[in-house]
């Protein structure tokens, strides 16, 4: 995939021209998207001559349909999300959160966590920047929990493989978990457990606020599509291949006893298993989606997903630079507990 050589947007030219290109790209995207199903069926059943009723046939058709569908969805939706994100920056989010009280501040921080561009490698400067400007620790944590948990790749893949209801539930529970966990951490008054050097830094003050043209926004969004899709596409393909195998070969209801809603221990186990799987969120979702078809329950699956993206080992290690071990432990413990509670809640309600 030679994405890096693609240059969709010329950096000069009339601004309307870039809107023209976007329009064309959207039409092409829609056409392609609607062609996937007939093409996948034709390839699997006519070109390869597989029997739709056979295990191999249904696995292959599933794979040929899901891979292009998910990759197209990822490209299109990440482009849109990235354009929206060019209107936000950590600096602007910090300014919006300044002086907000507990509760509302936590919820706003969690919501802004979705739209603010964030990479866990920037967690430390962001943490210092927030805390230094007087944003309470609990509100800062609401942001730090929501930003990686309500992750754009996870949202798009949940939407593509489970539908908008599950994607919506995922976003809503991510918001609730981040808000609640932030409030709890804030109430624990753990300012002493932030590394001392953080309090000595004088960082608040002038910032660069950029004003971008639409062309620049589109160009940046396209850059992030290339970066994100370039990073996850292989995991997506592998994940869907495994998922397709499960879809075709595993008997129905095989997992009801171990991952169904009556297996009480499945939620904590799912959370424990999810933590080390960080970088593979893109590959995990298609597998999980196939497992759900075979009897795994929604609460267990959502808890697993949240643990995969929200509680990642690399982020914990990075945050250790600014948080003392006690606060790290509280952070991981509170988030894990919140995820487990959410998992049970969905298992009982649904």
Partner 1 sequence: MLTIKVLGSGCANCKKLESVTRQAIAKLGIEAEVIKVTEYPDIMKYKIMSTPGLVVDEKVVSSGRIPSEAEITTFLTSALAV
State which of residues 55, 102, 188, 204 lies at the interface with partner 1 (CB under 8 A): 204
State which of residues 14, 53, 101, 205 lies at the interface with partner 1 (CB under 8 A): 205
* Helix or strand (DSSP H, E) at 173: helix 164-187
Angstrom distance (rounded) from CA 322 to CA 196: 8
- Residue 2 is a binding residue for partner 1 (CB under 8 A): no
- Cβ distance to partner 1 smaller for residue 9 or 107: 9
Least distance in angstroms from the C-beta of 197 to partner 1:
6
Which of 25-33, 47-55, 123-131, 163-171 is the region at the interface with partner 1 (rule: CB under 8 A)? 123-131
State which of residues 38, 125, 134, 168 lies at the interface with partner 1 (CB under 8 A): 125
- Residue 55 is a binding residue for partner 1 (CB under 8 A): no
Least distance in angstroms from the C-beta of 85 to partner 1:
11
State which of residues 1, 84, 201, 329 lies at the interface with partner 1 (CB under 8 A): 201
Angstrom distance (rounded) from CA 265 to CA 287: 20
Q: Among candidates 88, 196, 204, which has minimal Cα distance to 143?
A: 88
- Cβ distance to partner 1 smaller for residue 278 or 344: 278
Angstrom distance (rounded) from CA 57 to CA 212: 50
- The residues, ordered by sequence, that sit 6+ positions from 264 with a Cβ below 8 Å of its Cβ are none
Q: Is 134 left (phi over 0), alpha (psi -120 to 50) or beta?
A: left
Least distance in angstroms from the C-beta of 205 to partner 1:
6
Angstrom distance (rounded) from CA 319 to CA 56: 46
Query: Please, are residues 42 and 65 in contact by the beta-carbon 8 Å criterion?
Result: no
- Residue 154 is a binding residue for partner 1 (CB under 8 A): no
**How many chain residues interact with partner 1 (CB under 8 A)?**
29
- Residue 211 is a binding residue for partner 1 (CB under 8 A): no
- Cβ distance to partner 1 smaller for residue 120 or 342: 120
Which of 69-77, 171-179, 202-210, 261-269 is the region at the interface with partner 1 (rule: CB under 8 A)? 202-210
Encoded one letter per residue, x for contact with partner 1 by CB under 8 A and - for no contact, window 79-118 reads ----------xxx--x----------------------xx
Q: Is 346 exposed, middle or buried (0-12, 13-18, 19+ CB in 10 A)?
A: buried
Pick out residues in 300-319 that bind partner 1 (CB under 8 A): 318
For the chain, how long is the longest CA-to-CA vector?
69
Angstrom distance (rounded) from CA 89 to CA 209: 9
C-alpha distances in Å from residue 243, one per residue of 157, 289, 342 = 13, 7, 25
Q: Among candidates 135, 146, 148, 150, which has minimal Cα distance to 194?
A: 135
Least distance in angstroms from the C-beta of 233 to partner 1:
17
List residues near partner 1 by CB under 8 A: 11, 89-91, 94, 117-119, 121-122, 124-126, 128-129, 197, 200-201, 203-208, 220, 223, 318, 321-322
């Amino acid at each position: 995939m030679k994405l890096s050589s693609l240059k969709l947007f010329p950096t000069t030219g009339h601004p309307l021209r870039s809107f023209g290109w976007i329009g064309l790209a959207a039409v092409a995207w829609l056409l392609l998207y609607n062609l996937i199903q007939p093409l996948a069926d034709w390839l699997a059943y006519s070109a390869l001559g597989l029997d739709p009723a056979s295990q191999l046939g249904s696995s292959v058709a599933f794979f040929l349909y899901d891979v292009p569908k998910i990759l197209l969805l990822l490209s299109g939706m990440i482009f849109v999300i990235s354009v929206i994100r060019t209107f936000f920056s950590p600096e602007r989010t910090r300014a919006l959160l300044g002086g907000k009280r507990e509760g509302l501040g936590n919820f706003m921080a969690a919501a802004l966590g979705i739209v603010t561009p964030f990479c866990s490698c920037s967690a430390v400067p962001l943490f210092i920047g927030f805390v230094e400007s007087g944003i309470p620790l609990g509100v800062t944590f609401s942001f730090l929990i929501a930003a990686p948990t309500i992750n754009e790749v996870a949202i798009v893949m949940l939407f593509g493989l489970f539908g908008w209801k599950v994607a919506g539930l995922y976003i809503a529970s991510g918001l609730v978990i981040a808000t609640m966990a932030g409030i709890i951490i804030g109430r624990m008054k753990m300012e002493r457990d932030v590394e001392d050097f953080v309090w000595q830094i004088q960082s608040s003050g002038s910032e660069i606020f950029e004003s971008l043209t639409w062309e620049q926004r589109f160009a940046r969004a396209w850059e992030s599509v290339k970066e994100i899709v370039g990073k996850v596409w292989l995991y997506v393909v592998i994940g869907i291949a495994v998922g397709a195998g499960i879809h075709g070969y595993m008997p129905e209801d095989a997992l009801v006893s171990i991952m169904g809603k009556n297996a009480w221990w499945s939620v904590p186990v799912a959370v424990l298993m999810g933590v080390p799987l960080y970088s593979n969120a893109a590959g995990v979702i298609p597998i999980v989606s196939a497992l759900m078809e075979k009897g795994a329950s929604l609460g267990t699956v959502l808890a697993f997903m949240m643990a995969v993206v929200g509680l990642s080992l690399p982020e914990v290690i990075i945050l250790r630079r600014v948080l003392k071990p006690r606060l790290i432990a509280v952070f991981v413990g509170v988030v894990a507990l919140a995820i487990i509670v959410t998992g049970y809640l969905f298992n009982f309600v649904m």
